[in-house]
Structure 1
Amino acid sequence: MAVVGGGVIGLSIAWRAAQTGWQVTLFDPAPGSGASSVAGGMLAPLSEGWPGEEATLELGAASLARWPEFADRIAAVTGRSVFTAKGSLSVAIDAADAADLHTVAEWVGAQGYHLEVLSRAQVREAEPSLSRSVRLGLSAPSELAVDNRALLDAVRSAAVDAGVEIVERAVADLDELVADQIVLAAGDRTATLWPGLPVRAVKGEILRLRSRPGTEPPPSRVVRARVHGRPVYLVPRGDGIVVGATQYESGRDTQVTVAGVRDLLADAQTLLPSIGEYELAECGAGLRPMSPDNLPLIGRLSERVVVASGHGRNGILLVPITVDAILALLDGTTLVEVKCADPERFNHDAGAKQ
């Protein structure tokens, strides 16, 4: 079996497939260096819910429920824990944002999931370092966050230990591979290997801030908000905070812009005034593989090829359910929870390879 793509999705599939008995070769010119390496690591399907996006919510929630077992598997093999936070807190700065949080709470609650609306005082009690301008909060206690780079290191180590051969070169054409089964997990490059699949690159910038002596500790939870209409999130790490993320339709550009850094820092400081005392340790940009409806493409393309791509902003969140779905396909079955991600929904008809 061949896996094309060495991001967190490809590495995780390769590892688990090898554990179940497949002989796996993974191809990527620079494993772990793509969008997965600059992710925030939020596992937040509930707080990102919005009326009309039932499929996105259900898929994300199903994967979130699988994360503890998936993390336990990693820990059993590598001895590493990848979690950095439990719980997330979405906050409102103005009245319009507060109304949106009430909408999310009501809709997500109607779908059977628990979110708790917090008053200004309750937000301050939960996260004292947040700005006094925060007027309302929405707590999702079941949501989590992981250290994306620790996760990448762990699944790569686990894959190698399980016998996966990693070949550090690009694949230009799937026809050059001799494997019986091919998993196409090439992120934003997926469409170049299977023309007709609607996966495009969307640029996202993030910042990594490092604590310094005397700085206020980061929030204990993931904190999310909209500031001047721009989404921003703060994700705690052992040594500081990840701040994200911008979103640009800019082709394959991965350069970090002054405007992007400026907006992220300004919006983050609106939420957490003490953030100006942190060290600006890193600015990075990655290319998220996006689909037209913001759902991934997980399914069989031919008797020989299955795809696991188009995860967009939810690549880390959707790792466990994507792995389970691909293992099921390789075993000749399907996972009902990922029906919404079937690539056939786009009726692609170009370049079908056998």
Structure 2
Amino acid sequence: MTVTTTILGAGLMGRLLACALAQRGHTVEVYDAGGPEAKHAAAHVAAAMLAPLAESAVTELNVVRMGQHALTRWPQMLAQLDQPVFFQQQGTLVLWHRQDAAEAERFAGQLARTSAALPSLPQAQRLDGAALTALEPALAHRFAQGLYLPDEGQLDNRELLAALAHQMQVLGVQVHWHTPRTPEDIDPGPDAWLFDCRGLGAQPQWPALRGVRGEVARVLAPDVSLSRPTRLVHPRYPLYIAPKQSGLFVIGATEIESDDLSPASVRSTLELLSAAYTVHPGFGEARIVELGVQLRPTLPDNLPALRLTAPRRMSINGLYRHGFMIAPAVLDAALELMEQDHSPLAESLGLAVLR
């Protein structure tokens, strides 16, 4: 009799897990409330930046460690997919206007503390106007100084979701789209694993979860040429601009403690686009392709966790705003936990395993 591993949820974690298990020879079945486009998933809206040092200004060291792990793992994982996925690792550029110099020094100080705590992480490099222009010619004479964070990267979230959906099909994963299920609906048998990767859909079973609202703009700006993700330091609305392919940019900043999924507000949109315009005037003629809103599944400490709810029953959740940056580490730890009943990787990275 074939033992089937069941996965609930086909967002980023569910798809990565399904492919990894199928590659290891497991028979895998997936249930998801949405379709293969993953429009209901937080991963569909994300900018998919892989920026552990930059994110250290707003998160814990264990998340930074997970992000560092992912920078090595993503190229390996993408090489296993049949469909190409845009990926680049040209670092992060951090900028600020003169009036925000004090906030920039605070930010730089936090990065320095992170580098001291994690010496294996490349340190931020200070840039004067000439060095900044050499690195990013499109910003010549617009900023007098900046920071360059080497080796950080990004990928195309929607290309990845599509490539993973295709790979599940190639690997023989049985996927039930538009078929929501809860753990109580599934009886895979005592020898089979059940993984719950439903994000906020798992809130009834994991009441500590909450949604944190994020809003992003996707714009087509053929007059803007940026080679790498760029962040603008600001005390009220720190901004990121992630260049994708063919003149497309993902612009975001908002982080709102709310489970409201209504359309983006006028104020948030104005702040996002106005801040982007101050980075490069070419954004003034950009075309707004999409204003996206989604909720990030978040636990009380804003950190991810693996939870063993019963024998061979695991919940994976709480990736918050760092989904793409930490997903490979969470995946590798979950696989270790499944195969060994403990995870040295989770212990070394500080990833919580709840029992």
TM-score, reference length from structure 2: 0.88
Select 2:194's aligned residue among 182, 187, 210. Answer: 182
The question of whether the paired residues in 1 share the 8 Å contact of 2:66 and 2:325 is answered with: no
The question of whether the paired residues in 2 share the 8 Å contact of 1:130 and 1:273 is answered with: no
The question of whether the paired residues in 2 share the 8 Å contact of 1:85 and 1:144 is answered with: yes
Per-residue CA distance 1:168-225 (angstroms, 9 max, x = gap): 2344531211222111111122222x234x221111111111134xx232x1010012
Select 1:195's aligned residue among 188, 199, 206. Answer: 206
- Return closer, same or farther for 1:232/1:52 CA change in 2, 3 Å cut-off: closer
Pair 1:61-2:68 in alignment: yes
Select 2:301's aligned residue among 268, 293, 297. Answer: 293
Per-residue CA distance 1:231-275 (angstroms, 9 max, x = gap): 210111112211113111222424221112111101111222221
Question: 2:32 is aligned with what amino acid?
Answer: D
Per-residue CA distance 1:153-180 (angstroms, 9 max, x = gap): 0111111111111112344531211222
Pair 1:138-2:157 in alignment: no
Question: C-alpha separation between the residues in 1 aligned to 2:148 and 2:341?
Answer: 37
**Aligned length, in residue pairs:** 337
Greater mean deviation of Cα atoms: 232-241 or 221-230: 221-230
Q: Which residue of 1 aligns with 2:323?
A: 315
Question: C-alpha separation between the residues in 2 aligned to 1:295 and 1:135?
Answer: 36
Greater mean deviation of Cα atoms: 289-298 or 34-43: 289-298
Greater mean deviation of Cα atoms: 221-230 or 310-319: 221-230
SS in 1 for 2:91: strand
Shift of 1:290: 1.3
Shift of 1:85: 5.2
Pair 1:97-2:103 in alignment: yes
Question: 1:108 is aligned with what amino acid?
Answer: T
CA RMSD of aligned residues (A): 2.0
The question of whether the paired residues in 1 share the 8 Å contact of 2:63 and 2:326 is answered with: no
Q: Which residue of 2 aligns with 1:128?
A: 137
Shift of 1:63: 2.1
Question: 1:205 is aligned with what amino acid?
Answer: E
- Return closer, same or farther for 1:103/1:25 CA change in 2, 3 Å cut-off: same
Greater mean deviation of Cα atoms: 136-145 or 248-257: 248-257
Select 1:224's aligned residue among 223, 231, 239. Answer: 231
Question: C-alpha separation between the residues in 2 aligned to 1:52 and 1:138?
Answer: 19
- Return closer, same or farther for 1:228/1:46 CA change in 2, 3 Å cut-off: closer
For structure 2, the residue ranges without an aligned partner over 5 or more in a row are none
Q: Which residue of 1 aligns with 2:54?
A: 47
SS in 2 for 1:331: helix
Question: 2:29 is aligned with what amino acid?
Answer: T
Shift of 1:343: 4.6
Question: C-alpha separation between the residues in 2 aligned to 1:301 and 1:126?
Answer: 49
Select 1:167's aligned residue among 141, 162, 176. Answer: 176
Structure 1 ranges of 4+ moved more than 4 A: none
Q: Which residue of 2 aligns with 1:23?
A: 27
Question: C-alpha separation between the residues in 2 aligned to 1:145 and 1:12?
Answer: 17
The question of whether the paired residues in 2 share the 8 Å contact of 1:131 and 1:272 is answered with: no
Per-residue CA distance 1:14-39 (angstroms, 9 max, x = gap): 11111111111111121422111111
- Return closer, same or farther for 1:299/1:135 CA change in 2, 3 Å cut-off: farther
Q: Which residue of 1 aligns with 2:215?
A: 205
Q: Which residue of 1 aligns with 2:240?
A: 233
Per-residue CA distance 1:256-313 (angstroms, 9 max, x = gap): 2111211110111122222112111111111111122221112422213112111011
The question of whether the paired residues in 1 share the 8 Å contact of 2:57 and 2:107 is answered with: no
For structure 1, the residue ranges without an aligned partner over 5 or more in a row are 348-354
TM-score, reference length from structure 1: 0.89
The question of whether the paired residues in 2 share the 8 Å contact of 1:203 and 1:288 is answered with: yes
Question: C-alpha separation between the residues in 1 aligned to 2:59 and 2:152?
Answer: 21
SS in 1 for 2:224: coil
Q: Which residue of 1 aligns with 2:261?
A: 253
The question of whether the paired residues in 2 share the 8 Å contact of 1:90 and 1:139 is answered with: yes
Question: C-alpha separation between the residues in 2 aligned to 1:104 and 1:132?
Answer: 27
The question of whether the paired residues in 1 share the 8 Å contact of 2:32 and 2:181 is answered with: no
Question: C-alpha separation between the residues in 1 aligned to 2:228 and 2:331?
Answer: 27
Q: Which residue of 2 aligns with 1:330?
A: 338
Per-residue CA distance 1:302-353 (angstroms, 9 max, x = gap): 2131121110111111221222122222213433332333253xx8xxxxxx
- What percentage of aligned pairs have identical amino acids? 28
Question: 1:160 is aligned with what amino acid?
Answer: Q
